[in-house]
Structure 1
Amino acid sequence: MKKYFVLAAAALCSVGFASAAAFDDRPVSVEELPDAARKFIRTHFAGSDVLYAKVDDDLFNNDYKVVFADGVSVEFASNGEWKEVGTRRGVVPAAIVPPVIREQVEKQFPGVRIESIDRDRRGFEVGLSNGLDLKFDRQFNLVDIDD
């Protein structure tokens, strides 16, 4: 019985160490990003210098993050579609923000910049320069405002 306990403990430890090593961030080059991510960078950040890019190895998929020298960061899903764009007191490129959201922000908050945008299966979250976070559903209806 003691032998089985020792073998089980050893197996659990080896699985734990292997999974900890497998699920880690590692640097990658821009060329190693998925095609959609490279196209997104060429389209929206052509003149920007990449500070670093990394992949977050996960059990089921890989997420990517690219940080530019000007402080802009972009997170990509494993298929290369963007998930999040954030700036440090900058402006998210207008072409990234859906026109309906951009128009609502310009109308309701004139002179306020969009500093970040996240998207997921539920909708969009937009961070504004005045400190507000706006949440939109998939049909671009404003559903929540956080301050």
Structure 2
Amino acid sequence: MKNYLYLIVLFSMIALGIGPGRGGNRANDRKISMSELPSPARQLLKTYFPGARVLQCVHSRTWDEYGVKVSGGYELGFDRQGHWEEIESDDKPLSLELVKLLPAPVVEYLEQHYPGAKVESMEQRKNVYKITLAYPDTHLYFSKSGEFVKARGDD
């Protein structure tokens, strides 16, 4: 009976979104000032978003990551050291300068296979880069060394 009750509570927590889950626990998010961001994050903002207003800086204590919203509809995610993990824009493509933060083979692949394509977001995780194009509506995946892995269109 105890095991049955435990399973009910566990599944209820999962269904309600309570418990471990990336980005789901706002109680552990703390608003911070830009000066509290790690140096590489501040430098990226200064270099690629000069004159833009920082609307919000948040530190996730759960994942020890940072989230920043910048005027113009940009959202950026940084790891604990301040290295970018995700850069996205709601309504306009990312600048070529931002896209060049990706490894050279990725940039070359984009230029060769998707000339003129608009990059909506770029994300880097432990083993992969994910690039989202606005048109054609496509997700491109690359290894950390910049080798093309696969493309997937949105349905």
- 2:151 pairs with 1:138: no
* Structure 2 residue matching 1:115: 3-state secondary structure: strand
Structure 2 unmatched runs, 5+ = 1-24
Alignment partner, residue 46 of structure 1: 50
Alignment partner, residue 74 of structure 1: 76
Structure 1 unmatched runs, 5+ = 1-20
- Paired residues in the alignment total 125
TM-score (ref. length: structure 2): 0.74
* Structure 2 residue matching 1:47: 3-state secondary structure: coil
Q: Which amino acid aligns with 1:64?
A: Y
- Counterpart CA distance in 2 for 1:22 and 1:73 is 17
Q: Note the C-alpha offset of 1:99.
A: 2.5
Whether the 8 Å CA contact 1:52–1:66 is kept in 2: the answer is yes
Deviating above 3 A after TM superposition, structure 1's stretches of 4 or more consecutive aligned residues are none
Whether the 8 Å CA contact 2:41–2:82 is kept in 1: the answer is yes
- Counterpart CA distance in 2 for 1:98 and 1:90 is 22
Alignment partner, residue 22 of structure 2: none
Root-mean-square deviation (CA, aligned residues, Å) is 1.8
Whether the 8 Å CA contact 1:23–1:56 is kept in 2: the answer is no
Higher alpha-carbon Rg: 1
Q: Which amino acid aligns with 2:141?
A: K
Q: Which amino acid aligns with 1:116?
A: S
* Structure 2 residue matching 1:121: 3-state secondary structure: coil
Alignment partner, residue 96 of structure 1: 101
TM-score (ref. length: structure 1): 0.78
Q: Note the C-alpha offset of 1:22.
A: 9.7
